[in-house]
Every structure is written in structure tokens, then in C-alpha cells.
Amino acid sequence: MKLSRREFTVGALLAAGTMGLPIMVKAQGTKTVALLFDSLVSPFWVSGIEIMREKAKANGWETLENISDFDDNKQFEQVKAMIGRKVDGILIIQTDSKAVIPAIRAANEAGIPMVHFNRPPAESDAYSVAIQADNRKIMADTVQFLVDEAKKMGGKYKACLLIGDLGDVNAIQRRDGFFDVVDKNADMIEVVARVSTEWNADKAFAGLTNALQANPDINFLVTSSDFMHPQIEQVLQTAGKWHKRGEEGHVLFAGFDGDEGAYARLKDGYLDACGVQNLFLEVDMAFQAFIDMWAGKKPEKLLLDPGFVITQANLTEKQDEMWGYTVWKKQNG
Amino acid sequence: MTSTDVTAVSKPRAQAGWKRLLLSEYLVLVLTVFYFAVMWTIVPEIATADTLLDILRAMMPLLVVAIGQTFVLIVAGIDLSAPSIIAMASVVGASVLTGDGGYANGTGFEIIAGILAFIAVGAVIGTFNGLCTTRFNMPSFIVTLTTMMFFSGAAIWYTTVHTDASSIGNLPRGFIGIGQGTFFGGLPFSLFVVLVVGGAAHFILSRTVYGRWLYAVGLNPRAAAVSGVPVRRVIFWAFVISGVCAAIASILYTGRLETGTPVLGQRILLDVIGAAVIGGVSLFGGKGKILWTIFGVLFLTVIDKSLQLMGLPIASVFAIKGSIILAAAVIDAVRHRVLVRG
């Protein structure tokens, strides 16, 4: 049988339409949540989106995804597109806390609940809910553990802090949490280096190298994010300071986030403590906020994940709550 | 007449029709309509009035930058600095406008002063690009690559000097209206801006001596110089126009987001050049129309919007977008072959 071009075109369009039907039918009668990320460049976000997909599926929800690649304007377009799709909720990780405000307003106008994950927006008249780790407290607890260890061992300590991008409220809160504890122990700990990394691993490497050249006796090190661990390890190895706990010359070392590298270094004894953002709990809190808003409730604008400090003492007990352990388990069978 | 005779007559006619379509300057528009029709069956929301208005709104700033880029492409140059002009103009303009201690805050002239600051940044960087390209005979690729890198960094530095945060907010409502406002029952105000810029650009290219000089320089600068065309001046002004267009786009983006940010527009370079080239503007110079650029921008914006609506994982988005642009490029290559063969 020969087909004319016109018959073929009409057939192709009908076929495409038929393929689309299941998508439309599937979308009916269930909740659809948009997951709008600005990037998937670190294990934290990759794990985050995987946990969200799994938990949404467990709730019987559909998910739609968009990545803005750090483009605020594109993310605004994506929010508008999701409003066009009439989703039931928008979970967003914005790049800029101010530039996201028009997107919140647009979601408010459309009556679609919006939840910010990990980064709250700037103050505005628009309503949305933000889930954020209690960075300052988690960092303070983590550094307190390190200080207690230092007290047990005695002596004086020269400290170095790797700071994140100070345009990011998370980085500021973690820095403040560090100084909340260190300032109280100034007789024992002197902060000799503050390395501004701007969340850039190369800058962390260069900054820490310079800091160690200027202060070779640094023996107390805290990083504002675990993704910089490989660079830290490299620099400390080069300086002959990469030793396990209990070994001569061990640098007291703490991290923040709770990624798979942190788990591995804790397990191997190189890392003393890590402030963990409880990603599983944060996703639960975000989804609960949607459920509450769908029920007509108005949750607080900022909900805090208390997080926890993981050390070798509680590693076995707490590892299942550490998202990095899940990643590590997958990578290591 | 037998059925065989009918087929014999209709086949060349159909072939001629396809050839006419392939060579038509409306080909990209036809492809856009076809793509839109297919997408309509998959995501019906793409055809709602709200989404169509969103597509129009999304097109506007990108179109203004692409119009500026068209001038530079016609003279066989390239302006890679457009994204950094957008970023630099955004933070400089916002630092003048902002209610949080802006330079013009409380003067009553905030908006005019802010807009002038935006335009001045575009004009200055465009002038620098034009001077380096024409006075020192440097390739525009290198000049604008350097300015892109320099001003991307300068925008971040400028922001850190003016605020503790990563962006500058609290802009006046009157300014925000340029990016967000509507007129005539929902049409974006930015459409008005684009109509003025696009109309002026079309007029310059099609009705003025300068427009004819641009094409002459793009086709063969030596022949143009021999014919008395001030080649250096023509190229210089193309870069200034491109810089000013990027600054106008920055006004629209900044107004839309209510924020001056140093990373504004950092990811749009490929869309800007891609839109112009897909529309039919030649990378080798001497060929281009504003209408073609509009079609290219529309094509890319519709693709973007459809993929956003589908909400697919990022790997699928890149694969689909890449395939569609590749298909458009292949069609364009076939078109050129047919054109060359006659």
C-alpha cells in the first residue's frame, strides 16, 4: 500500500498525539510537583533530586523537572512554564535570593504553593516556604566537638576556616557558627587563616596551599562544605599533614554537608567530625509543607532542619541518616 | 487523462513546491509552526493564551541582543561580550537605581539616570570593542572574548563593592514596569521597546546608506574600501550598536527579575548567536535580516518553552534541544546546496 505525503503527515501527527495521551491521562487525578533546580553539579544536589523523586513516587505524586544552569531568567521562565502546566506545587532551588521574588509572586498569583529548598529567598511581600538546614547551630555543634577533642589533647591550636561564597546565606551562617565557638576559646585557638573559596574547589586548593605556606603549623581545619575534601586532602598530603586520628601530626579536621567523601574519610579516620544536613528530613519537611498548603494551612516562611553532628563514635548509629552514606553504599556495592 | 499522467504532472509540481519552501526566507518560521503543532499534541498547554504570552515575553530581551549581534555578524565579526555587557550594565544600572543607597536614590531622576547608566555601559564596552577591532586590526573574536572575561569578573567585583549580597535589589516600581509591565490588555511593555529597536534596526539595514555599507563590508571589505566605503567606521559602529542593544536587553532582564545581578545573561551567548544563524544570518558576513533574526529567536524560544513545559530530566532536554538544532542546521545546509546548484 502506498501512502501519499499528506496521509503520512496526518498519520505522524495522530501518532504523536496518541503518544502524548498517556502523559495527559496519567497527569489526571494525582498531584504533580515541579522540581526546579539551578544545577546538579554537586553530589548534594544529585542525591537531593533522587531522594525527591523517590519520596514523591512513594506519595503517589508525579514530578516534572527543570534545571536552570544558574540562569535566573531561565528559572523564572521555568516557573512560568510550570504554572502553565498547572502543577500543584513548585519546589525550587534558586541561584539568587532576590531574583527569585518575581517567580514567587507569579506562583502566588496562580495559587500554586512554592517551597524553596536549602536556600531561603530575600525578604519580600510574596509568600513561600523555605526549608533550610540550621547552618549556624550545626556548624557550632561540629566545631564544639573539635574543640572538645582539642581540649582532651591539650596544647594550642592554629585554625584555618574555608569559607563559602559570602553571597550565599548558608556560607555566612556556617562562618558565624564557627566563630560562635572559636571566639569563646580564643585562649586555646587562634584563627590564622580564613580562605575565601566562593564555593570553588580550585580557589579552595590555592587558598589552603597559600595558608599552609604562611602558617605551616595549622592543626585545626574546618571546611564549610564537604565537596572541597579532595583538594584539602591533596594539600595536606603535600604538606605532610595527612594523618589519621591518633597518629602523630593529625590535623583536627571537620566538614559540613555529609557527602560520600565525608563518610569515607570519617570511616577511614582522617575526618574527626561532620555537620550533616539531613537531606531525607529536609525533603520530608518540604513535601509536608506542600501537603499543609494544599490543606489550606499557612506554614512558617522558614522551617529549619536541626541536622546533626556525625563522628566516629556515632557513625554506625547515624550513618543511615547521612545522605552521603547512601551514595557511598551505591558506589561501593 | 490517466492516473499515471496525473502523478507525472503533480510530482515535478510538488518538487518545485518543496524547493520553493526550502529556499524561502520563511523556512525557519514554517519549521517553528510545524514543531509547535507537533508539541501541541504532546503538551497541549503550549497553545494556551498565557503560554503564548510567556513565549512573547521570553523572546523580547533575547531578540534585542540578537538584533545587535546581527549587525556585527553582517560585517563578518562576532560579539562574544554581549553576556558580560548585560551583566555589567545590570549591576551598574541597579547601583544607580536601587532604593538601598543607590547613586540616584531620592533625586527624582532615578529611572532616567539608571537607564542612562545601562546604555552608557553598553556604549562604552561596544566602543572599546569597535576601537580595538578597527584601530588595531585585532580579530573581533579575541577582542570580545577578552572583554567578555574582563567584564564578567568586573561585574562580580562591582557588586561586592556595592552590597554584601550577591545581587542588587529594591529597584523602583517604575523601572520594574519596563520588564514586567503590560499594555493593551496584556501585551508586554517590552514588546514596545523591541518594536522600536527592531524597527530602527530594520530601517537602518534596509533603507540607509550605512545599511548598504554594512553588507558591502561583510561581503568583501577590500572591494568596499576601494568603492569608497569607510570600512573601519562601519565596523566600529556595528560594535557600538551591538553593545547598546545588549544594554537595552539588560534593562528588560533586570526589570523582569527586579534585581541587578552579575551573572545575568551569562548563559545566553549560544542562544544569541544560534538564533541569528538559525534564522539565516551568515557567520561569514554580508547576509542577514532582522526578520530572519526574529524567526531564529522565535524558533529557539518555542523549543525552550516546550521543553520547560515537558519537565523532562536534564539529559533528555539537552539531547532533544541538540537534535532539533542539528536538524535545523542540516536543513539549512541542504538549502545552501540547493541554492548553489540553482
The average pLDDT across A73-80 equals: 95
ipTM here: 0.87
Domain membership flag for residue B323: no
* % of chain A with per-residue pLDDT over 70: 91
The pLDDT of residue A253 is above 50: yes
Residue A328: predicted pLDDT:
93
Domain membership flag for residue B89: yes
Residue A23: predicted pLDDT:
47
Instruction: Report the residue from B51, B259, B266 with minimal CB separation from A99.
Output: B259
Residue A29: predicted pLDDT:
62
The string of DSSP letters for A271-330 reads: --EEEEP-HHHHHHHHHHHHHHHHTT----SEEEE--EEEETTTHHHHGGG-HHHHHHHH
Mutate to test the interface with B, among A18, A23, A73, A97 (most CBs of B within 10 A): A73
- Listed residue (B125, B41, B65) closest to B251, CA to CA: B65
Query: Which domains are seen in chain A, by residue range?
Result: 30-127 (3.40.50.2300), 135-277+310-331 (3.40.50.2300)
Domain membership flag for residue B295: no
Q: Note the residue count of chain B.
A: 342
When divided into structural domains, chain B yields a total of: 1
Confidence band, pLDDT 50/70/90 cuts, at residue A26: very low
Domain membership flag for residue B289: no
Among A residues 47-86, those touching chain B with beta carbons less than 8 Å apart: 63-67, 69-74, 76-78, 80-86
Q: Under an 8 A CB cutoff, do B54 and A81 touch?
A: yes
Q: Under an 8 A CB cutoff, do B308 and A81 touch?
A: yes
List the alpha helices (DSSP H) in chain B.
3-23, 27-42, 49-74, 82-97, 110-135, 140-162, 173-180, 189-207, 209-219, 221-226, 231-257, 269-279, 290-310, 314-341
Among A residues 167-206, those touching chain B with beta carbons less than 8 Å apart: 167-168
Instruction: Report the residue from B167, B258, B311 with minimal CB separation from A66.
Output: B311
Instruction: Report the residue from B42, B168, B257 with minimal CB separation from A73.
Output: B257
In chain A, what residues touch B256 (CB-CB under 8 Å)?
73, 76, 102
Top-confidence residue, B211 or A13: B211
CB A163 within 8 A of CB A175: yes
In chain A, what residues touch B259 (CB-CB under 8 Å)?
72, 96, 98-99, 101
Instruction: Report the residue from B48, B304, B311 with minimal CB separation from A65.
Output: B311
- In total, the C-beta contacts within 8 angstroms joining chain A to chain B are 121
pTM of the predicted model as reported, rounded to 2 decimal places: 0.85
Instruction: Report the residue from A5, A13, A65 with minimal CB separation from B41.
Output: A13
Confidence band, pLDDT 50/70/90 cuts, at residue A24: very low
Q: Under an 8 A CB cutoff, do A98 and B58 touch?
A: no
Residue A116: predicted pLDDT:
98
The pLDDT of residue A2 is above 60: no
In chain A, what residues touch B51 (CB-CB under 8 Å)?
81, 84
Q: Which residue range(s) make up the domain with B138?
A: 61-265
Instruction: Report the residue from A23, A81, A98 with minimal CB separation from B259.
Output: A98
Q: What is the pLDDT along chain B (342 residues), one digit of tens a residue?
A: 455 555 566 667 777 777 777 778 888 999 999 999 999 999 999 999 999 999 999 999 999 999 999 999 999 999 999 999 999 999 999 999 999 999 999 899 999 999 999 999 999 999 999 999 999 999 999 999 999 999 999 998 999 899 888 899 999 999 999 999 998 878 999 999 999 999 999 999 999 999 999 999 999 999 999 999 999 999 999 999 999 999 999 999 999 999 999 999 988 998 999 899 889 898 889 999 999 999 999 999 999 999 999 998 777 777 888 888 788 778 877 877 887 776
A292 in contact with chain B, both atoms CB, cutoff 8 A? no
A19 in contact with chain B, both atoms CB, cutoff 8 A? yes
Q: Note the residue count of chain A.
A: 333
Domain membership flag for residue B91: yes
B312: left (phi over 0), alpha (psi -120 to 50) or beta: beta
Q: What angle do CA B11, B16, B20 make, to 5 degrees?
A: 150
B258 in contact with chain A, both atoms CB, cutoff 8 A? yes
For A42, list phi and psi in degrees, rounded to 5.
Answer: -125, 155
CB B79 within 8 A of CB B241: no
Beta bridge pairs of residue B182: B188
